[in-house]
Amino acid sequence: MEQLIDISIRLQQISAQMAWLQQQVWQLTMMQGVGYRPSPPQGPTARDASAEERRSYVDQGSCRGCGLCVRVAPRTFRMDPQTGRAVALPEPRDPPSTIQMAVARCPVGAIHYR
């Protein structure tokens, strides 16, 4: 079971890296004025908002309450004792890279960072 979780975590990390690479290619293409104009990536991993504007949230319908996000970014997420699920704090205090790591490690993809 742990191997499946590790594989799931790694797949989510790769997915986040691919979204970041897609954004980088798009930005370089736009800067160079090349004829190829892919549309900018959309979704929670798109890097179009500054860190100050970005907010994280946890989809309560998807969260299984494993607590992995709390272990990775304890100053951004906490466990709700009533529901047993993670919630995002209104004022995150972890660096954006740490929050993105928590997003990538969520085994069910319940964390969003926009």
As to burial, measured by CB atoms within 10 angstroms (0-12 exposed, 13-18 middle, 19+ buried), residue 73 is buried
CA distance linking residue 20 with residue 51, whole number of Å: 15
Structure confidence at residue 102 as a pLDDT band (50, 70, 90) = very high
* Amino acid at site 39: S
> What is each CA distance from 46 to 17, 23, 36, 49, 95, in whole angstroms?
11, 7, 19, 8, 17
What distance in Å separates the CA atoms of residue 112 and residue 100, rounded to the nearest whole number?
9
Higher pLDDT, 33 or 108: 108
What is the tens place of the pLDDT at every residue in 19-57? 777 777 766 665 555 444 455 555 554 444 454 578 899
Structural domain spans, the chain: 2-113
CATH topology of domain 2-113: Alpha-Beta Plaits (3.30.70)
* pTM more than 0.95: no
